[in-house]
A and B are shown apart, each in its own frame.
Chain A
Amino acid sequence: MTTFLRLTIFGLVTGGIYAVAATGLVVTYTTSGIFNFAHGAIGMLAAFLYWELHVNHGIPTLVSLALVLLVFAPLAGALLERTLIRPLHGAPFATTIVVTVGILAGCLGLAQQIWKPGAPRVVEEFFPAEGFHVAGVFVSWHRAITLLIAAATVVALRHLLHHSRAGITMRAVVDDRDLTSLSGVAPTRPSALSWAIGSSLAALAGILIAPLITLDVVLLTLLVIDAYAAAVVGRLRSLPLTFIGAMILGLAQSHGSYWLPKAFPGDRFPDWLPGFTDSLPVILLFVALLALPEARLRGARAVRAVTGRVPSVRHAAAGALLLTGVAWAGAGFMTGQDVQRVGEGVALGLIGLSLVPLTGFAGQVSLCPFAFAGLGAVAMSKVGGGGSWVGLLVAMAVPAAVGALVALPALRLQGLYLALSTLAFAVLVDYMVFPQASLFRTSITLERPDLFGLSLQSDRAWFVVLAAAYGLAAVFVVWLRRGRLGRRLVAMRDSPVGCAMTGMSLTRTKLVVFALSAAMAGLGGAMLAAMKVSISAKSFTALGGLTVLLIAVIGGIETASGPLLGGLALAGMTILAQEAPALGWVPAVGPAVAAIVLARQRDGVAAVLGGLARNVVGRRRGRAPTTPDPLTALDGSWPVGQALEPARVRALDGLFGIDDGLCAAESAR
């Protein structure tokens, strides 16, 4: 009984922390319309900053707390909103995901650069070792306070959103931005406020949970990702439901991790069990997502032509040959280590290429390319020790099958919910599948197959094979885009409702492209593993997989060559960091920054370069004059009626700080 009570109290406390994090997420989403994937990373940064201030510099608890929660977090949130989120107004949905995922990756990289992993860091509880007893169970003040804060947060937020002017305005902005400004409210202020509040809550959650676990960059980020589940239970809208979801989550985790192993006699529980209890939150997330009502089909609000020129298959084939040739010629000039790095870049590009049909053409954002890549690598290693071409085929077949199987229930979801479910899947595979001893033990080694007696065992040879594989896959993608399926994918992105009206099965199309994408990711993963020779369970983490999305975006997620450019850029950054250790932050933060900058360009680097060129030419030609035309005399035939209130007229005077408020052209008259 005592154990039960203890577990319940622990569960409620964990649930309380989830509640704080999840409600912050819900508030930002309901008031800015953008799901902040970086929510957990902001909480993680705040926890580290709190450690830095409080533990490392000995600043008193309350001062440190105030600095982090009331100064750093709100400022960071408002700044993010102002610089990155606000320009996203009206942007395609995939772009908003890429930007917040970019922020997430950037925060991770930044934290790992500032606070090098490995060093033990401990944040103490508030009032360490003090507490009280409830029915024989010791409850520390820290836990009691956490629970109180969680409850207070939910009540306060609900009041803010429904009973305060600021809150009503925030909700109004999400409903209709233009209409809000027509009501006399600057639509940007509520949004900045909501991001400030949201990141403050993320920070609070991070600081509260830090003493209960180890202070670790990835662990903290993932823990707040767990809060997604609670937010989805609340349908990203209802705060009370979110709170209940968070509590269920906390209780399930605390009870599950204790009772589940007991179900197996003599502690002989299977090796997936620890992973299972760790992934309870993402499993709940998955279930909650599946329980969501099917989204209504909608046409795109404003359809504009955004797709760039699609090359012909012949051009693509020529490009592929050229790529292979360049790789063959270039491999000789590179050092062995550089071949490794560039080869890994090309392989990552190949995994990124798997996102081109799915995200680029069909507009479905997947955050689990690494899960399929890892499955591909494992599948290849299981076939004849890895050294066979059949293994490579299996490396494509297995992820495709798994992808289709997993995607089937998730396909009825759209947009954000689909992206969330793929992230849940990635975390699940990361926690539960890869750590299993039967798959990886500590690490696995992949042989490289030979081709008709031609030895491909050297790094250089495999590098050329990789380049050729990328070329083939790219030609395939171009062929796909020009064909029937490609047209369907683009049509589905542009107007789901239009597709349904023509009798096309959206579910089947999505299923096909999902399986196809998984197969390509599997191929890329297997070839990456063969390039690296030895891989471990931690080679294909869920968070690491986000980099793949970022590099695909950098190069251009709608082009067959884009992911390659992105992968090469990443390889370049890695080599740069190796040559100059002072630039170690470049590969850590660079892809994120580049992706955020390029997210709005559908064709990545290429589009930006083209845009720059056009701008330069445009400047030279000079812009159209914007000076107002001289006024013609007013038509005297209009009758004159009642005057405007003088106060209103004075208010107008203030608009531009012009003294008499009259038009320059009119004053001159």
Chain B
Amino acid sequence: MTGDAARPALELRGVRAAYGSIEVLHGVDLVVPPASVVALLGPNGVGKTTTLKVACGLVTPTAGCVHVAGRHVNGAGAHRLARAGVRTVPEGRGVFPNLTVAENLALASADRRHAATVHEQAYARFPRLGERARQSAGSLSGGEQQMLALARALATDPALLLVDELSMGLAPLLVEELYEQVATIAREGVSILVVEQFAHTVLGVAHHAALMMNGRVQFSGPSAEIAGALDAAYLGTTGTGARP
């Protein structure tokens, strides 16, 4: 075994990122160990989604390092990272509304995997998608769209899965169901970074959690230990005893 096995699936070191002249990440440090689920938590507007966009290559950091499996990947295009096994379920509904479910899945078979296998796997994981294969993705319900987005991201056996706000706008029961899927995926050996605003939905699944405040990771550690820090952060008393 090479040393790669021990390397974190994703590692951000001192990452800064900006939209135009406004910096939103002021030095983010974050590690996703191999085959584990890390939850990135925090209230609205602290830079969670931007952190995820940096990780998947949509936003190029202005400073700091992005490592995937120990490789320095700053500035690699999102599509190249995706082909290398970094798959993303973006915020909102990560589907192409004007393509059919089948076409959405076909797009994911970019790396020469046979499309039939991709479809088979996706429909096995989410039978409801199989029933709606010919329907345009825009006509699916919110939960089904998220299923499709997940299925598409998983179609290529990713090494690292980045998930942004899976729960957004969905009924709690559905969210639970989707996170059970995430747990299953994690057991298959995929490293997962989950961005969530509502901590309770995800802490049951995550091994570790990191709490973001004001463009930085304020706290990170085993998810069991984060509850106290969370309350402090969300209720606005950060800085006093939030750090481990």
Q: Which B residues are CB-close (under 8 A) to A165?
A: 106
A644 touches B5 (CB 8 A): yes
A644 touches B9 (CB 8 A): yes
Assess whether A581 is interfacial by the CB under 8 Å rule. Answer: no
Out of A186, A625, A641, A664, name the residue touching B34 (CB < 8 Å). A641
- Which range contains the number of A residues in contact with the other chain? 35 or more
A-B contact count (CB 8 A): 174
A638 CB to nearest chain B CB (Å): 4
In angstroms, how far is the closest chain A Cβ from the Cβ of B186?
10
CB <8 Å contact, A652 and B68? yes
User: By the criterion CB–CB under 8 Å, are B65 and A662 in contact?
Assistant: no
A181 close to B189 (CB less than 8 A): no
Residue among A182, A626, A658 making CB contact with B62, cutoff 8 Å = A626
B70 touches A662 (CB 8 A): yes
- CB within 8 Å of A: which B90-122 residues: 90, 94-99, 103, 106-108, 110-111
Give the contacts of A169-207 with B (CB-CB under 8 A).
Answer: 169, 171-172, 174-176, 178-187
A33 CB to nearest B CB, Å:
12
Query: A647's closest neighbor in chain B, by CB?
Result: B85
Interface of A is mostly: loop
A168 an interface residue at 8 Å Cβ cutoff?
yes
Least CB distance, B97 to chain A, in whole angstroms: 6
Give a binary string over A114-125; 1 marks a CB under 8 Å from any B CB, 0 the rest. 000000000000
- Kindly specify which of B73-81, B195-203, B230-238 makes contact with the partner chain: B73-81
Q: Which residues of A contact B85 (CB under 8 A)?
A: 644-645, 648, 651-652
Q: What is the CA–CA distance of A639 and B35 in the complex, to the nearest angstrom?
A: 10
Q: Answer whether residue B13 sits at the interface, using C-beta atoms and an 8 A cutoff.
A: yes
Cβ of B128 under 8 Å from chain A? no
Residue B64 CB within 8 A of the other chain: yes
Contact between chains at B4 and A640 (CB < 8 Å): no
CA distance A662 to B65 in the complex (A): 11
Which of A175, A642, A666 contacts B189 (CB under 8 A)?
A642
Please determine whether A182 and B94 come into contact, CB atoms closer than 8 angstroms: yes
Instruction: Kindly identify which residue among B4, B72, B94, B156 contacts A643, using a CB–CB cutoff of 8 Å.
Output: B4
B8 at the interface (CB under 8 A from A): yes
Of the 9-residue stretches A19-27, A402-410, A417-425, A627-635, which lies at the interface with chain B? Answer: A627-635
Contacts of B9 in A (CB 8 A): 644
Question: Which among B34, B35, B63, B108 is the interface contact of A629 at CB below 8 angstroms?
Answer: B63
Query: Do A180 and B34 form a contact, CB below 8 Å, given A174-B98, A643-B1, A645-B159?
Result: no
Distance (whole angstroms) from the CB of B13 to the closest CB of chain A: 5
Smallest CB gap from B102: residue in A: A168
Residues of A within 8 A of B189 (CB): 641-642
* CB 8 Å contact bits of B129-146 with A (1 = contact, 0 = none): 000000000000000000
Q: Is the CB of A156 closer than 8 A to any CB of chain B?
A: no
Q: In the complex, what residues of B have CB within 8 A of residue A452's CB? A: none
Does B6 have its Cβ within 8 Å of any Cβ on chain A? Answer: yes
B24: CB under 8 A from chain A?
no
Residue total for B at the interface (Cβ-Cβ under 8 A): 65
Q: Across the interface, do B107 and A663 meet the contact criterion of CB distance under 8 Å?
A: no
- With A182-B56, A183-B82, A643-B34 already in contact, the answer to whether A653 and B13 are too (CB < 8 A) is no
Residue pair B13, A631 in contact (C-beta under 8 Å): yes
B159 touches A663 (CB 8 A): no
Within 8 Å of chain B (Cβ to Cβ): is A668? no
Check if B69 sits within 8 Å of A629, measured CB to CB: no
Bound complex: CA A179 to CA B79 (Å): 9
> Does chain B have a CB within 8 A of A91?
no
Which single residue of chain A is at the shortest CB-CB distance from B137? A175
A632-B13 in contact given A639-B33, A643-B34, A655-B73 (Cβ < 8 Å): yes
**A665 contacts the other chain (CB 8 A):** yes
In residues 1-32 of chain B, which contact A (Cβ within 8 Å)? 1-2, 4-9, 11, 13-14, 27, 29, 31
Nearest A residue to B73, CB-CB = A655
Residues of B with C-beta under 8 A to A662: 70-72
Q: Does B87 contact A (CB under 8 A)?
A: yes
Residues of B within 8 A of A644 (CB): 4-5, 7, 9, 34, 69, 85, 159, 191
Contact A182–B88 (Cβ < 8 Å) = yes
B70→A185 contact, CB < 8 A: no
- Report yes or no: A648 in contact with B69, Cβ–Cβ below 8 A: yes
Complexed CA–CA distance, A84 and B65 (Å) = 33
The verdict on A185 contacting B107 (CB below 8 Å), with A626-B63, A644-B5 known, is yes
User: A653 to B9, alpha carbons, bound, how many Å?
Assistant: 14
Report the Cα distance A641→B207, complex, angstroms: 12
Say yes or no: A649 contacts B69, CB within 8 Å.
Answer: yes
Whether B108 and A638, one on each chain, are in contact in the complex, defined by CB atoms closer than 8 angstroms, is: no
Knowing that A168-B103, A169-B107, A175-B96 touch, tell me 17 more A-B residue pairs with CB under 8 angstroms.
A172-B99, A172-B103, A178-B90, A180-B107, A184-B108, A186-B77, A186-B80, A641-B191, A642-B189, A643-B5, A644-B34, A649-B71, A652-B84, A655-B80, A655-B84, A661-B70, A662-B71
13 CB-based A-B contacts, threshold 8 Å: A171-B103, A178-B58, A181-B57, A184-B111, A185-B79, A625-B63, A628-B63, A628-B74, A632-B13, A643-B4, A643-B5, A644-B34, A663-B65
Q: Contact residues of A with B, CB < 8 Å?
A: 165, 168-169, 171-172, 174-176, 178-187, 624-626, 628-629, 631-632, 634-635, 638-646, 648-649, 651-653, 655-656, 658, 661-666
